[in-house]
A and B are shown apart, each in its own frame.
Chain A
């Protein structure tokens, strides 16, 4: 119920905000030389000459039919554009988050276990750099090093040749389904640099929070008892301490995933990644009001769904939460 209310609130807010952006969308769609009559005709067609509440009602009605209105840039329904664009962003975000989790958690644990020693200092510098360096700069540096100088990885795009037959729109998955292994390897190579660049900041944050929580767990009585009775260190750390330390890391992962869906723009721009975030920013710059609303709604849905997953995972990690329910 709360989810529905949140989405309704977001749709209401963004719908009205998108309609007060400067510039006449009809004029922008038709080009500067279009006559006033033409502009008026398109405004009528788009319903822009109707009261805002009527426009919102029409928008909501369309939403239930899977229609988000015509994009003034691509001149097709925004829903179709999003279906085309979203998988690229999801593939990028999911891979980046996987790298961040697989890198950040072990690094955080290692850092906590070797607190204030060399490995911890290196990890802290890395975490600091990961958060501080601008992502576009890191992306361009990666391009220069790995693509331009070493020639190991492609500079831009999702794939060199023809994309695999579209099933999910996720090239890695689609190429596997089609058993097109060269396409899989090629897609993976294209994905590596952008996802690595996007993952650095989340990786640093996950490292920091895991380290802090693990240090806290290390000081707890149960952890000292476990060590005293001779419980193997690996079991103690990964089965008991990390599970307890993971709850707040999970919150951060959830928030970061939602954040990445909307903020992958810079990476998509630098690596010519045809994703939804780039589409969203271009829509704002070109006053494509239907597209702005569509992208914002998708990001909102993304946040809501991720929060739901995180809530469910809390229950798994902490039985007290499960039992309360």
Chain B
């Protein structure tokens, strides 16, 4: 064989083998397609609030502490350990060494301090968690791996709130900042973080098509390492039509669905071979706020009568199609839940007994129109309204059901006069502490938003929730929260209905799904594996 021909043949073999190798490598890439209706696309940990945004953050950033599925207090994560000063005002975190940001630089205490200052100064997202607790400059860098948070006052749930604190890469942000309102920090890199990330989480953002898709790619140098079967690439697709999403799951064009589909859609998917619907308890309360400042709900006996008249079993079995009956305002899964409290069951005789004790006469009550307001488009809430209206006719109440846009409901929530008698509300924990389901509902300092539409006021409960916040000892804090739960259920501050389950559909090759009960955390794709 002459030389040129041999040369060409060798070249061809090399190209073929190379192509084969690339092909094999490509074929081995583990890809997961996630489908959701929610469109929001924000990658900035200082601005994220809803499930989609939080999912983006938890996949691309890391946190000092991490929540557990058991609902217990968060565990060390980037912070390997921490010390709390005797007065409960200083938290000193000892950081893990060798954690890299996506650009290869090391995460240090400087980044932690910068991230908290940035969060507080931008004053959006979850910064409300630390309003009045921390001010910019209150986080001190002791050495590259030690950082201290100096709190303005004792704040019991502080560690729990850190599950919403993503750490950004200071140097990368500073190198990409634009002119802005924050002086030497410009815009704090807000424009930069519109479509990219500056984190150390398991995934980086490969591309973003607004309103269409986000492509996440695994970060090879992630500090927890990688195992076979974990997801290399995530296709996060926005599918606004629920019916289309169901078809995609059934056809195998998607591997994982969002949680907001109807129970009927999940039933439909579960009946399809190859699709598995997983149900997990969550730290979520579905309740009907009863406006305690509006007659006749200003009378505890009327509220108790309603609590006894409602048919909880039908609501959970026929409407939610799963989940547990709520035991007070704190979800059963939440640490600090008090199991020794009044749990109302349907008992019409008792309902009538309490009505007889009411300051309102039967005729007065019959003449009143009780309004029930739910969020426009939420079918479950509409059905709950119908069930409530039906149940309350047995004690001669006249219920008017009305839907409103969410924006209108948040307006109504600002004043007791504009708040309807009943408002259907879902309240999901954003941090694993009973504080979110007690202080935010019952303490007048937190009034004015949808969580506090009961306008329940009791000086003893106010005192207890204030004290709990400033109590550093966990056991004592839980005791105080437990007392709040006892009083507020005794007084039927609201109609506590359910702790619904969180459902997601998966193709059956997706394994190891777990949910720590906090909104957005089950979207951490690092936890998932695909078995071929």
List chain A positions with a Cβ less than 8 A from chain B. Answer: 21-24, 27-38, 41-42, 45, 73-76, 80-81, 84-85, 88, 140, 143, 148, 155-158, 162-163, 268-272, 274-275, 278-279, 282, 285-287
Contact = CB atoms under 8 A, between A and B. Distances in A.
Given A75-B190, A272-B241, 5 more contacts: A23-B410, A28-B407, A30-B125, A158-B212, A278-B240
Contacts of B40: 73-74
A140 B243 contact: yes
A162 B207 contact: yes
Contacts of A76: 191, 194
Interface string B251-285: 10100000000000000000000000000000000
Contacts of A285: 405
Interface stretch (B333-341, B445-453, B486-494, B503-511): B445-453
Nearest to B127: A38
A76 B44 CA distance: 11
Given A155-B248, A272-B237, A272-B241, A22 B405 contact: yes
Interface in B348-384: none
A34 B128 contact: yes
A81 B244 CA distance: 25
Nearest to A84: B210
Contact of B209 (A75, A140, A269, A274): A274
22 contacts: A21-B407, A23-B410, A24-B414, A28-B406, A28-B407, A30-B49, A30-B125, A31-B50, A33-B449, A35-B131, A38-B128, A38-B131, A45-B181, A74-B194, A143-B247, A156-B248, A157-B212, A158-B212, A163-B207, A268-B240, A272-B240, A287-B407
A31 B243 CA distance: 28
A123 B451 CA distance: 58
Interface in B204-262: 207, 209-213, 215, 237-241, 243-244, 247-248, 251, 253
A28 B40 CA distance: 13
B212 A269 contact: no
Given A75-B44, A85-B211, A30 B128 contact: yes
Nearest to B445: A35
Interface residues of B, number: 49
A109 to B, nearest CB: 37
A75 B248 contact: no
A157 B213 contact: yes
Interface string B122-158: 0111011001000000000000000000000000000
Given A36-B448, A148-B251, A74 B41 contact: yes
B210 A81 contact: yes
B194 A41 contact: no
B290 interface: no
B183 to A, nearest CB: 15
Given A32-B449, A84-B210, A162-B207, A74 B241 contact: no
A32 B413 CA distance: 10
10 tightest Cβ-Cβ pairs between the two chains A and B = A23-B407, A274-B211, A274-B212, A31-B49, A287-B407, A22-B408, A84-B210, A76-B194, A272-B239, A32-B450
Given A36-B448, A143-B244, A23 B411 contact: yes
A274 B240 CA distance: 10
Nearest to B208: A84
Contacts of B210: 74, 81, 84-85, 274
Contact of A282 (B39, B50, B213, B408): B39
Contacts of A41: 123
Contacts of B495: none
Contact of A279 (B211, B440, B451): B211
Contact of B124 (A23, A42, A162, A271): A42
